[in-house]
Structure 1
Amino acid sequence: MKKLIAISSALALGLTVAACDGPQENAAEDAGEQAAEAVNEEAEAMEDAGTMTDEQADAMTDAAEDKADAMEEAGEAADETTAQ
């Protein structure tokens, strides 16, 4: 439940800041967030089913969030390159 609240808060903050982002960054951020959310749901389901521990589920979610952050950074770099 704590993860869900944290992710929801991060998404809300992301939407607040989204107005300052370029189109490629926004697209990459959206795709990354959707992928991370899907992985989080899968990890929670696997944890609920007893096929992985809470720590493994957290690690899986953290890795997906790191990938989403990297996607956003790549989108931001693409926007900066396009703007120059």
Structure 2
Amino acid sequence: MAEETDEYVYDKGVPMVVTPPGATNFDKLLEDIRYRGQLIARNQKLDSGVSFGFKGLVIGFVFAVIMIGLPIIVKGGL
């Protein structure tokens, strides 16, 4: 009588499960939502950067005019 030994293999990761047919549609929908969320976030970051960049440019220009013009006015002209 030959004994059959069942060998169990451990530490080989999680066994793969067959994906149900409806899960592929769910995965596509989830990926689409994630993509749209990334587009919205990127657009908000771009708008924020442009608006604050323009404000910074205007504030910097006014500050430069004051820093250059104030000594000229105090000294009495060119």
TM-score normalised according to structure 2 size: 0.41
TM-score normalised according to structure 1 size: 0.38
Instruction: Identify, as 1 or 2, the structure richer in helix.
Output: 1
Higher relative contact order (CA 8 A, sep 6+): 1
